[in-house]
Amino acid sequence: MANNQYTWFDGKYIPTEEAKVSILTHSLQYGSGIFEGIRAYDTPKGPAIFRLQDHIKRFFDTAKIYRINLKFTRAEIEKATTELLRRNKLADAYIRPFAFYNSVGIGFSTEGKPISVTISAVPFGSLFGDKKELRCKISSWHRINSSILPAGAKASGNYINSILASKEAKDSGYDEAILFSNSGKTLAEGPGENIFIVKNGILITPPESADILIGITRDTVIQIAKAKGIMVIERDIRREEMYTCDEAFFSGTAAGITSIISVDSVDIGDGKKGPITSKIATEYKMIVSGKDHSHSGWLTFVK
C-alpha cells in the first residue's frame, strides 16, 4: 500500500501508518470490535460506493446489538467514507468501517471503556484471486447461532468460526467451506458469503432462520433475479441438495458473485458456471460498474 494513504480515525484523517493502538487493546485481546465491509468500483463517472447507506445502517445495527455508542451519526460516517476514498485516490477499493474499545488492560468488562471509530480503504480486486469457479467442502464446523452470538451482526469475534471452517477446507485442498446451520441438518452459508443454488430454473437460498448474515449482496441478487423473472425461494437447503442442484454460487461484498462448481468433490451440474449464475453475475457487474442506470440509486459517487 502506498505510504500516502489516509485512515479516518475518530473524526480525523491521519496517515495510515500513524493509526496505531496498544497490543493490549480490549478489542484486539477479546475480539470485541464491530465492522462493515463495503466495496467501491470504478465507473464511467468516477469511483462509486455500492449501497453505502445500507452498509452503514447495518454497521449501526451491529453497534446497537452490542451496545456500542458510535458517537457519530450515519450521515457523518457516510460523508467520511466518500471523503476518504477521494483523499486516497481509490477507485476499485474495499472499505472497512470499524469500531472498537480503545482501552488497555486485561478483563472482559467493557464498562466505561472508550470507543474509537475508524474507516480504512484499500485497493481491492477479487477475494478469490484468479479463481472464477470454486471447489468447496462442507465443513465439520457449524455456523454460530443467535443463542450463542448475534449471527446477524458483524462482530470481529464471530469470524473465528469462519476462519476455522475456511482453514479446514483449504488444508483439505478445497477453495472454500460451506457451513451447516447449528441444527446440523441444513446449510447456512460460506465463511464470509451467502449461498445460492439453482434447481429446475428456481433460485434457492437459506432463510434468516438458518442463522445467516442477511447479506446486502444477497439482497441485490434476489432483486436482480426477480427483475429477470427468475423465481426465488428462501428455504432450508439439505446437504444432498448441493450434490444434485443444477448450479450454485456464493454472493458477498468481497466475493461478488462467484460460481461453485463442485462440493465435496461432486460436480455441480456439468461442473461449469451455469447460465443463471452467469446472467446474475453479468447484471451485478453492470450495476456496480455504473452501466445499468436502472439501479443508479445504489451508487454513491465520489466527487
Single-letter amino acid, residue 77: I
Single-letter amino acid, residue 245: C
CA neighbor of 49 nearest in space, from 85, 13, 88, 12: 85
Catalytic choice (57, 64, 71, 154): 154
Strands (DSSP E) found in the chain: 6-9, 12-15, 34-35, 38-41, 48-50, 93-101, 115-123, 133-142, 176-180, 187-189, 194-199, 202-205, 232-234, 247-252, 256-263, 266-267, 299-301
* The three grid cell numbers given for residue 116, joined into one nine-digit string: 474509537
C-alpha to C-alpha distance for 290 and 269, rounded to whole angstroms: 32
Strands (DSSP E) found in 209-276: 232-234, 247-252, 256-263, 266-267
Active site residue 113: no
Q: Residue 57, Cβ neighbours under 10 Å: how many?
A: 15
State the helix-helix crossing angle for 275-288 and 216-227, rounded to 10 degrees.
Answer: 110
CB 13 within 8 Å of CB 83:
yes
CA 273 to chain centre: 22
**What pairing do the DSSP bridges indicate for beta strands 48-50 and 299-301?**
antiparallel
C-alpha to C-alpha distance for 80 and 14, rounded to whole angstroms: 12
Angle at CA 166, nearest 5°, toward 95 and 123?
25
CB 252 within 8 Å of CB 194:
yes
Catalytic residues, which ones? Answer: 154
